[in-house]
A and B are shown apart, each in its own frame.
Chain A
Amino acid sequence: MEQSSEHIGLADLPNGTLARVISVRPPDAAAPPEIARRLAELGFLPGELVRIVGRGLLSREPIAVRVGTGTFALRLFEAACIRVRPETTRLP
């Protein structure tokens, strides 16, 4: 996938920054496809707003992600399916 400079992986989003989901698909051919499907079923779909609200103890993983009206904990390989573009406007 061509990487636009403004698209980043969900895991690289700084805590608390609002971003819009650009795409949800397996990052490479080796990744199990059902992960991306389930993420979509949970509401991680292009156009949705997401925000990282926390990370696990002593590591970058897992991340707690707010999407729509729900919050989900994801491992890095799960987050790798989701590419986002940070929003310039902050939450009120």
Chain B
Amino acid sequence: MDGTARALPGPLIALVGNPNCGKTALFNLLTGSRQKVANYAGVTVERKEGSLLTPSGHKVRILDLPGAYSLDPMTPDEQVTADVLLGRRAGETQPDFVVCVTDATNLRQNLRLVLSLKRLGLPMIVALNMSDIARRKGLVIDAERMATELGVPVVETVGIKSGGVGSLVRMLDRVAPAGRGPQRVWQSPTAADIEHDHDEVRRILGAIGGDRTEGTTRSDRIDAVVLHPVIGPLILAVVLFLVFQAVFAWAQGPMDAIKAGVDALGGWLGGFMPESLLRGLLIDGVLAGVGSVLVFLPQIVILFFFILVLEDSGYLPRAAFLLDRVMGSVGLSGRAFIPLLSSFACAIPGIMATRTIQDPKDRLATIMIAPLMTCSARLPVFALIISAFIPQRSLWGGVQLQGLVLFALYIIGVLSAMAVAFVLKRRGAGAGFQALMLELPTYHWPNLRGLAIGLWQRIEIFLTRVGTIILALMVILWALSSWPGPPPGATGPSIQYSIAGHLGAALAVLFAPIGFNWQISIALVPGLAAREVAVGALGTVYALSAAGEHVSDALTPLIAHSWSLPTALSLLAWYVFAPQCLSTLATVKRETNSWRYPLIMAAYMFALAYGASFITYRIALLF
């Protein structure tokens, strides 16, 4: 099961720290690529564990706990951290030892957590992280004095430099064989405790020379521009445009290459394999299935590259800050913007990108509406129908009618997403008091090592988890569309005799009120694999001999001739909403850790699609 601690040998060391203290960089440095990323059981909080071999050959396990400001939790992340440390999280063993990571440039805030952890009573080391930056800023912190004042060992670390954890590793070496100390009973801190801790922090800072609230820092100067009422939004627009452009355009080349590669492999295999069920399974089932998953990889890599850079540098929280109110008007978090924007390319990377939204309700709402952003896979379908039914006509000012219809379809998607988000929010918790309290961390240059590890983890999650579910679904779909084969002497296309064909024929009854004929209904079944597959499937149903790119060209006059305009408009409306993409649903299942949300998503989108098509068809019939 996800997230259950495996009983590996060696003591368990927990890394604890405030958000943005450089804890993850330190973790990456300590464990390198020996990391396991999963979720904590029952929640979507990421669980990262790694291992480290100390110089004297002791193996220790290192758990990177989610960032927390306090042991009195306010977010799911903090809840996990507090529960694990207190030994009351099911499936997790209480750590034997705690390394509290502090940002040497922000001790005023970070030391409070150290004091809370001390009260907890687990053996502890304090890592004075980012000590290089502190020194560069002229902050001289007396680590030995700090250790005396705190009563726990203190080591200086530099999380972004290899070798920056040497002293920490040597110290871990000494504690590795030691057992767990005596336990104390934990009590939540009172207001008096908080004030007392703060006085204590001030006292310690005074003693070690770390108390300096700087006047204007480099971050302040950057913020003066980035948060400026006029320049700030302009910068944001440029950044968002760049991300959108990258996901859409830069990914196109590698995506085409992957597609061509998979096609070539299929052609090569088909060249020497005799016509058989096995050949069909390999080429049309497995290979096409793998190809349809792999093709998203460039978009995911590019999108996460940008997200990791923006997050690591400190810009993403600022973008969320600027957009908080705008997105908040429909009940979404400012952080929902990038996932939604990338969903215009494909909902899969978009949904994976919702991990940057901390509030679980906001994250869920964003996941639920992401597929309403018109993804690039709908384009071939829209293009086919528009070119067949919408006359090529110039309106006022040279605006093309066809382009206008396409634009309208995008807008309808966005508007309905806003409406759905609004409804979801209304149904959710009592409106009003939703905490923000978002830290805008000091700007940093992104760390290449962390970037590489982060990207690799996303790729791995995508390929292993999503890949397996999607691949299985693709193979099932292939089997449905090709089995049983046509009886001898059959005249229609072979798909018509398969299970998918019978399913389509049954669906035709359901779809008759919205104007779909049996050919469309059958094409919708394999179209579940990916929306654009429906175009190819229509070609198959209409028994076209043309293949690949030319299907659409050959189909255009055919459907223009055989469908009525209301049917075509109804199908357009259908594709704005329809939950046609199994890969998206599989991703939602993986990201939410349950079947509940993909099922709800499929149901609500199906209802919207059916309703929209019904209204469109009935109104169009009147004219």
**Are A31 and B109 in contact, with the CB atoms below 8 A?**
no
**Are A53 and B227 in contact, with the CB atoms below 8 A?**
yes
Select which of A42, A43, A77 is within 8 A of B433 by beta carbon: A77
Q: Shortest beta-carbon distance, A22 to chain B, in Å?
A: 14
Complexed CA–CA distance, A37 and B195 (Å): 10
Q: Does A14 contact B (CB under 8 A)?
A: no
**Are B438 and A66 in contact, with the CB atoms below 8 A?**
no
Complexed CA–CA distance, A41 and B216 (Å): 24
Complexed CA–CA distance, A60 and B208 (Å): 39
User: How many A-B contacts are there with CB distance less than 8 Å?
Assistant: 121
Complexed CA–CA distance, A75 and B227 (Å): 16
**Are A62 and B325 in contact, with the CB atoms below 8 A?**
yes
Counting chain B CB atoms within 10 Å of each CB, which of A34, A40, A41 scores highest? A41
Q: Shortest beta-carbon distance, A71 to chain B, in Å?
A: 4
Select which of A34, A41, A55, A75 is within 8 A of B112 by beta carbon: A41
Beyond contacts A38-B70, A75-B434: 14 other A-B pairs, Cβ-Cβ < 8 A, are A31-B433, A40-B195, A41-B72, A42-B69, A54-B227, A55-B229, A56-B322, A57-B323, A64-B223, A68-B213, A69-B108, A70-B109, A73-B321, A74-B437
Q: Shortest beta-carbon distance, A16 to chain B, in Å?
A: 9
Complexed CA–CA distance, A31 and B227 (Å): 29
Enumerate chain A residues within 8 angstroms of B105, measured Cβ to Cβ. Answer: 69
Enumerate chain B residues within 8 angstroms of A61, measured Cβ to Cβ. Answer: 324-325
Nearest residue, chain B, Cβ from A46: B195
Enumerate chain B residues within 8 angstroms of A37, measured Cβ to Cβ. Answer: 72, 191, 194
**Are B109 and A40 in contact, with the CB atoms below 8 A?**
no
Enumerate chain B residues within 8 angstroms of A5, measured Cβ to Cβ. Answer: none
Q: Give a binary string over B201-221; 1 marks a CB under 8 Å from any A CB, 0 the rest.
A: 000000000000111100110
29 A-B pairs with C-beta separation under 8 A: A32-B433, A40-B195, A41-B70, A41-B194, A43-B112, A43-B198, A45-B195, A53-B227, A54-B228, A54-B232, A54-B321, A55-B227, A57-B233, A57-B322, A57-B325, A61-B324, A61-B325, A68-B109, A69-B106, A70-B106, A70-B108, A70-B109, A70-B439, A71-B219, A72-B438, A73-B320, A73-B436, A75-B436, A77-B433
Q: Does B317 contact A (CB under 8 A)?
A: yes
**Are B108 and A72 in contact, with the CB atoms below 8 A?**
no
**Are B195 and A58 in contact, with the CB atoms below 8 A?**
no
Q: Does A39 contact B (CB under 8 A)?
A: yes
Interface residues of A in 5-42 (CB under 8 A from B): 31-32, 34-35, 37-42
Q: Does B57 contact A (CB under 8 A)?
A: no
Enumerate chain B residues within 8 angstroms of A41, measured Cβ to Cβ. Answer: 69-70, 72, 112, 194
Enumerate chain A residues within 8 angstroms of B324, measured Cβ to Cβ. Answer: 56, 61-62, 73, 75
Enumerate chain A residues within 8 angstroms of B322, measured Cβ to Cβ. Answer: 56-57
**Are B326 and A57 in contact, with the CB atoms below 8 A?**
yes
Q: Does B138 contact A (CB under 8 A)?
A: no
Nearest residue, chain B, Cβ from A35: B435
**Are B69 and A72 in contact, with the CB atoms below 8 A?**
no
Enumerate chain A residues within 8 angstroms of B435, measured Cβ to Cβ. Answer: 35, 38, 75, 78
Q: Does B432 contact A (CB under 8 A)?
A: yes
Interface residues of B in 98-120 (CB under 8 A from A): 105-109, 112
**Are B220 and A43 in contact, with the CB atoms below 8 A?**
no
Enumerate chain B residues within 8 angstroms of A39, measured Cβ to Cβ. Answer: 437
Q: Is the interface of A mostly helix, strand, loop or mixed?
A: mixed
**Are B223 and A54 in contact, with the CB atoms below 8 A?**
yes
Interface residues of B in 185-205 (CB under 8 A from A): 191, 194-195, 198
Listed from nearest, the 10 A-B pairs whose CB atoms lie closest are: A54-B227, A71-B440, A73-B438, A68-B108, A56-B325, A73-B321, A59-B325, A69-B106, A41-B70, A75-B436
Complexed CA–CA distance, A35 and B195 (Å): 15
Q: Number of A residues contacting the other chain (C-beta, 8 Å)?
A: 36
Q: Does B74 contact A (CB under 8 A)?
A: yes
Interface residues of B in 52-110 (CB under 8 A from A): 69-70, 72, 74, 105-109
Q: Does A91 contact B (CB under 8 A)?
A: yes
Q: Shortest beta-carbon distance, A67 to chain B, in Å?
A: 8
Enumerate chain A residues within 8 angstroms of B109, measured Cβ to Cβ. Answer: 42-43, 68-70
Q: Shortest beta-carbon distance, A70 to chain B, in Å?
A: 5
Nearest residue, chain B, Cβ from A32: B433
Counting chain A CB atoms within 10 Å of each CB, which of B194, B224, B227, B437 scores highest? B437
Q: Shortest beta-carbon distance, B502 to chain A, in Å?
A: 54
**Are B437 and A64 in contact, with the CB atoms below 8 A?**
no
Complexed CA–CA distance, A47 and B224 (Å): 25
Enumerate chain B residues within 8 angstroms of A49, measured Cβ to Cβ. Answer: 213
**Are B108 and A43 in contact, with the CB atoms below 8 A?**
yes
Q: Shortest beta-carbon distance, B29 to chain A, in Å?
A: 24
Q: Shortest beta-carbon distance, B109 to chain A, in Å?
A: 5
Enumerate chain B residues within 8 angstroms of A35, measured Cβ to Cβ. Answer: 433, 435
**Are A72 and B223 in contact, with the CB atoms below 8 A?**
no
Enumerate chain A residues within 8 angstroms of B108, measured Cβ to Cβ. Answer: 43, 68-70
Complexed CA–CA distance, A43 and B224 (Å): 22
Enumerate chain B residues within 8 angstroms of A31, measured Cβ to Cβ. Answer: 433
Select which of B220, B317, B438 is within 8 A of A53 by beta carbon: B220
Q: Shortest beta-carbon distance, B192 to chain A, in Å?
A: 11
**Are A40 and B191 in contact, with the CB atoms below 8 A?**
yes
Complexed CA–CA distance, A62 and B434 (Å): 12
Enumerate chain B residues within 8 angstroms of A69, measured Cβ to Cβ. Answer: 105-109, 213-214
Enumerate chain A residues within 8 angstroms of B437, measured Cβ to Cβ. Answer: 38-39, 42, 72-74, 78
Complexed CA–CA distance, A42 and B63 (Å): 24
Select which of B194, B317, B432 is within 8 A of A40 by beta carbon: B194
Enumerate chain A residues within 8 angstroms of B72, measured Cβ to Cβ. Answer: 37, 41
Enumerate chain B residues within 8 angstroms of A43, measured Cβ to Cβ. Answer: 108-109, 112, 198
**Are B326 and A92 in contact, with the CB atoms below 8 A?**
no
Select which of A55, A59, A71 is within 8 A of B439 by beta carbon: A71
Complexed CA–CA distance, A31 and B433 (Å): 8
**Are A73 and B317 in contact, with the CB atoms below 8 A?**
yes
Nearest residue, chain A, Cβ from B112: A41
- Known contacts A38-B74, A53-B223, A66-B220; is A72 also within 8 Å of B325 by CB? no
